[in-house]
Amino acid sequence: MEWDELVEAARLATAHSYSPYSHYPVGAAAWTTDGRLVTGCNVENASYGLTLCAECGLVSNLAATGGGRLIRFTCVDQAGRIITPCGRCRQLLWEHGGPTLQVLSPAGVVSMDQLLPQAWGFEELNPSA
Ligand code: THU
């Protein structure tokens, strides 16, 4: 579960991007607690606001291949440069990785609770769970 493998998987995922509007392919990749590699790419829409970020595809892939938790994540542009997840996608990642998810960001490896401090999540809706 090396970071360079994750970066390469994310870079390869950009090849599947559908981004005729932004011309900005994004690839995302993550390891799961049970050792699966899940990936995603951005899929845009003529109604721009309906665009699916790469993280959306990754989370869908996570669920479709057995669910579980994310432990390491990164996303990259077409050149393989590490990018940082957008605000909405930080919330998606929080849901499936929680505060300890390790994220390889442009600033190095950070934990999810650094990227999304004071996050809203499952516990807020289920205080006694
Ligand atoms: N994008 C992602 O896929 N993930 C992010 O975290 C940032 C933005 C995509 C959405 C859109 O297709 C393109 O990048 C330009 O915003």
- Quick check: pTM over 0.95? yes
Q: What is the pLDDT along the chain (129 residues), one digit of tens a residue?
A: 799 999 999 999 999 999 999 999 999 999 999 999 999 999 999 999 999 999 999 999 999 999 999 999 999 999 999 999 999 999 999 999 999 999 999 999 999 999 999 999 999 999 987
Q: Which atom of ligand 1 is nearest to the CA of 84?
A: 6
Residues 6+ apart with CB under 8 A from 14: 25, 26, 27, 41, 76, 77, 78
Distances (CA, A) of 42 to 23, 28, 56, 76, 113: 11, 9, 8, 11, 24
Ligand 1, pocket residues at CB < 6 Å: 19, 22, 24, 26, 42, 44, 51, 53-55, 75, 85-86, 89
Task: Just list the catalytic residues.
Answer: 55
Ligand 1 centroid–CA 26 distance in Å is 6
